[in-house]
Amino acid sequence: MIAVLNTVLFQLSCVVLFSYLYWIYIDDFVPATTSNKNKKTKGEFIDCFYTSITIQAGVGYNGLDPISDTAKMLLMTQQFVMICANVIIFYLFSIHLLNLHHRKK
């Protein structure tokens, strides 16, 4: 149960951290709405949080569009962290299942 709690806390920490980073670099993003034709308006913190949580969840939809290489690198960094975390979680889960299987024998 502790492992599950640690995983949830790690995921939430990533969401909060990257939301904050997106907010710091908000000038490198624009809201990803179809009604925003001129791409001149500035995003809100909720857009940063939405983008962070959808990336961390693996949904892949952005609330913000990157308009600089810095913003693209920031998004890719979170995507890479999410991929690595999922690989580690799946690995640990499979090890746990194998241990359970071996105990039954």
Mean pLDDT of 71-99: 91
Q: Say how far apart CA 52 and CA 50 lie, in whole Å.
A: 5
Type and span of the H or E element at 95: helix 69-104
Q: Say how far apart CA 31 and CA 67 lie, in whole Å.
A: 10
Predicted pLDDT at 6? 86
Is residue 98 scored above 70 in pLDDT? yes
Q: Per-residue pLDDT tens for 28-67?
A: 998 887 555 555 677 889 999 999 999 999 887 788 999 9
Mean pLDDT of 4-20: 92
Task: Give the pLDDT band (50/70/90) at residue 9.
Answer: very high
Sign of CA dihedral 13, 14, 17, 19: negative
Predicted pLDDT at 39? 57
Q: What percentage of the chain exceeds 90 in pLDDT? A: 51
What CATH number matches the domain at 2-104, 2.120.10.30, 1.10.287.70, 1.10.3110.10, 3.40.50.1010?
A: 1.10.287.70
Mean pLDDT of 66-77: 94
Q: Domain limits of the chain?
A: 2-104
Residues 83-90: contacts with CB under 8 Å, at least 24 apart? 85/10, 85/11, 85/14, 86/58, 89/7
Task: Give the pLDDT band (50/70/90) at residue 72.
Answer: very high
